[in-house]
Structures are given as structure tokens and as C-alpha cells.
């Protein structure tokens, strides 16, 4: 999925330097422009759903790495 791709690409640079909470916050800040971009305005109802899927993907990647 696209959300998994962005979470993986933004999550890996921050994973080695700091903890998972900072990385998760940084990834959410990084993915926010993509969620609220004009291309996804019609999917505004699914923004909360996308964030939940995004957090689940981050947790899955975090536990898969370790």
C-alpha cells in the first residue's frame, strides 16, 4: 500500500537515531501534507482511518525489525 511505502521510507532514517515515539511523530508530520493534499480532499472522511492504518504499519515495521 502507499501508506506502508511512505511509512517505511520516512521511518527508516529516524529509527537508528532516536526512539520509536519521535520517529512516529516525525513520520506523522511528514505524511500530513500528503493526507491533506488537494488530491486527497475527497478522501477527507478516511483521514482518521488512514492515520490508524499508518500507525499500525509503523508498529508492524518496528516489531519486524527487532
pLDDT digits (tens, 9 = 90+) for 1-20: 455 555 555 555 555 555 55
d(CA 17, CA 33): 24
Q: Which domain holds residue 29?
A: 2-65
Q: Is the pTM of this model over 0.75?
A: no
Classify residue 43 by its DSSP letter: G
Q: From start to end of 1-66, where are the E strands? A: none
**pLDDT for 35-46, tens place per residue?**
666 665 666 666
Cell of 10: 520516512
Number of structural domains found in the chain: 1
| Residue 65 near residue 15 (C-beta atoms within 8 A) | yes
Phi, psi of 33 (to 5 degrees): -60, -30
Amino acid at each position: 500500500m502507499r501508506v506502508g511505502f511512505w511509512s517505511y521510507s520516512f521511518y527508516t532514517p529516524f529509527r537508528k537515531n532516536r526512539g520509536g515515539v519521535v520517529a512516529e511523530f516525525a513520520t506523522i508530520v511528514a505524511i500530513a501534507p500528503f493526507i491533506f493534499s488537494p488530491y486527497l480532499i475527497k478522501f477527507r472522511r478516511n483521514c482518521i482511518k488512514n492515520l490508524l492504518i499508518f500507525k499500525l504499519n509503523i508498529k508492524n515495521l518496528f516489531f519486524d525489525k527487532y
